[in-house]
Amino acid sequence: MDFALNDEQKMMIDTVRRFIAEELRPLEDTLEEQGHLDRTQAQALHEKSRALGLYALNMPAGLGGAGLSNLDRILCEEQFGHTSDYLIRRAFGNVYEPLLHCKGEQVARWLQPAVEGTRTCAIAITEPGAGSDAAGIQTHAKKTDAGWVLNGSKHFISDGEWSDFFLVSARTGDKEISMFMVDKGLPGFTVGKDQPMMGIRGTPHLELFFSDVPLEPAALLGEEGQGFKLAMGALNVVRLAQVGARAVGKATHVCELMLDYANDRQQFKTRIGDFQMVQQMLADSVIEINAARWMVYHAAWMLDQGLDAREQIAMVKVHAAETLGRVVDRAVQVFGGMGFCKELPIERYYRDARIYRIFDGTSEIHRGVIARSALKKGAALFDVHR
Ligand SMILES: Cc1cc2nc3c(=O)[nH]c(=O)nc-3n(C[C@H](O)[C@H](O)[C@H](O)COP(=O)(O)OP(=O)(O)OC[C@H]3O[C@@H](n4cnc5c(N)ncnc54)[C@H](O)[C@@H]3O)c2cc1C
């Protein structure tokens, strides 16, 4: 068992960290004020990151991605957590793993442009009537001689405004769900309103409406009826990366700010970091972040060994998201009034953190998965022979 990172990994982490510190963090305040970047600014970020090989680094090298192992990807994603969701999307892309199921002409039409960043994609599963129950969707696609006709609606679709096409889950039979690549601009496809959120400012979350949208046969991703399995399988690694690793990165960033403040701020002629009650908040944060980090690395290592990491990823999702929540809450407390004041970013991190317990499966849904598995397999899901 070797917990050490090698020199290449450290160099890669430093490159991402520097890019975020120099190119992205300075834009955070403007983004918070304006709610967006202009297109030329966003394009410039994309080009800079691509030149460094940081765009779509989750994709295989043969397609123009970085061809990283799961662990190496996770190390980068942890650093991504040090800035805002919107800036990550603009700088590093948003190329979802289900796209790797593209075949034949689909590669040139959807996968390759997504990896290059000439076309952006979003994933559209949730509907007003079907959130946690992702298999309970009403959107459906009917087979025709020319392909399919899509009807239904989605909501909360992250980055929808920037997206040129969507991976849409739709019912193709009573018990069958398939995935389709649906281009913006198709007849009958309307993009609805942006649904404002309490945090992650800048990222649009859109409603989508499909009314007799004609889809070519090539729009079907993977096999007919396999869409749910395809999405759930591929999104497992997305959950580990975009929620688990980023939550650890965010919590680390907030913790660093909290430690600096506890070192600098004086009350009663003493630095506040010397008060035991403050120390408890600092110590608990450091302990929980480090525990979450090793859970994330372990789950990534399991994926790299070809092991089934579903349960570990469910545990990571709950623990990393909830750790982040506790750490930002303590940060507000340690910063006192300044933690609540908009002059510092702490209140923003507090708002941004809340969604981590909800999207990509709520804490309750993942706890259900973990508990059912534990009841079946026992030994708290750890077995030296597995
Ligand atoms: C900012 C944001 C971005 C998002 N981005 C996307 C996106 O890009 N694409 C996309 O498809 N979706 C996206 N979503 C949707 C997100 O994945 C869902 O909001 C989430 O899965 C929860 O679904 P829901 O909101 O319908 O809540 P519900 O499923 O209605 O849940 C409500 C409450 O009931 C609890 N609950 C439900 N079922 C159970 C159960 N079986 N056991 C115990 N408790 C249960 C939940 O845990 C929760 O506390 C986004 C949502 C937000 C807010």
Q: Which domains does the chain have, with CATH numbers?
A: 7-98+111-116 (1.10.540.10), 121-227 (2.40.110.10), 229-381 (1.20.140.10)
For residue 379, pLDDT beyond 90: no
Quote the ligand 1 centre to 132 CA distance (angstroms): 5
Nearest-atom number in ligand 1 for the CA of 203 is 1
Q: Would you say the CB of residue 358 lies under 6 angstroms from ligand 1?
A: yes
Q: Would you say the CB of residue 132 lies under 6 angstroms from ligand 1?
A: yes
Can you tell me the mean pLDDT for 356-366? 97
* pLDDT, mean over the chain: 94
Structure confidence at residue 382 (pLDDT): 72
- In this structure, the residue with its CA closest to atom 17 of ligand 1 is 359
Structure confidence at residue 185 (pLDDT): 96
Structure confidence at residue 385 (pLDDT): 72
For residue 380, pLDDT beyond 70: no
Can you tell me the mean pLDDT for 42-63? 92
Structure confidence at residue 381 (pLDDT): 67
Quote the ligand 1 centre to 137 CA distance (angstroms): 13
Q: pTM of this prediction?
A: 0.96
CA distance 242 to 317: 10
Q: Would you say the CB of residue 318 lies under 6 angstroms from ligand 1?
A: no
